[in-house]
Amino acid sequence: MQTKVIKLLIISIIIFIIGVFFMGLNKSSIYDTKSLEGQKITNIKLEHFSKKILLTEEYLKKKNFTLINFWASWCAPCRLEHPFLLKLNSETKLNILGVNFKDKKNNAINFLNSYGNPYDELVRDDLGKKSVNFGVYGIPESILVNKDLIIIKKFIGPLSNEDYKIIQKIIK
């Protein structure tokens, strides 16, 4: 009887360990914050890039959708996604809010002069603290929110042609 119990215990522990490894190894270990999709963004107070005003939730409620794009002039992948942002700028239902992340003002202006300005409004986040409120952990990152400030989609990394099509499909 006791031998049976011991055998059963050992076998169940082995099965459990194999099960844990099987589940763990099949699970993607790449971290992202896409789980935040569906959450509401609150407490928005962003300093305007050139004017002495704060952009709040009210700005995001102006159009059906807002794409919040976190970028910097020193960020090489930001240059890759820039043409897609310029194309999205023509969408009437979409506002594009640029958040200039830990950047020098002059460098940011030069960047926009060279590559074009796709943003309807531009705000600054000199220390990167405001971006924490959006769950940003690296740039470029873009967040598509609706009028109710709900995160519809998060794009981690530079926007691609596929992402461009996804955004177009969502806002239409």
Site string for another protein, 28-47 (x = CB under 8 A): ---x-x-xx--x--------
From 78-86, 122-130, 141-149, 163-171, give the range in contact with another protein by CB under 8 A: 122-130
Q: What is the DSSP letter of 39?
A: P
Structure tokens at 123: 């705000």
Residues 74-113 that bind another protein (CB under 8 A): 102
Burial class (CB in 10 A: 0-12, 13-18, 19+), 43: exposed
Q: What are 127's two structure tokens?
A: 């220390």
Classify residue 117 by burial, with Cβ atoms within 10 Å: 0-12, 13-18, 19+.
Answer: middle
Q: Which stretch binds another protein (CB under 8 A): 53-61, 109-117, 121-129, 146-154?
A: 121-129
Q: Does 54 bind another protein (CB under 8 A)?
A: no
Residues at the contact surface with another protein, assessed by CB under 8 A: 2-3, 5-6, 9-10, 13, 31, 33, 35-36, 39, 102, 127-129, 131-135, 137-138
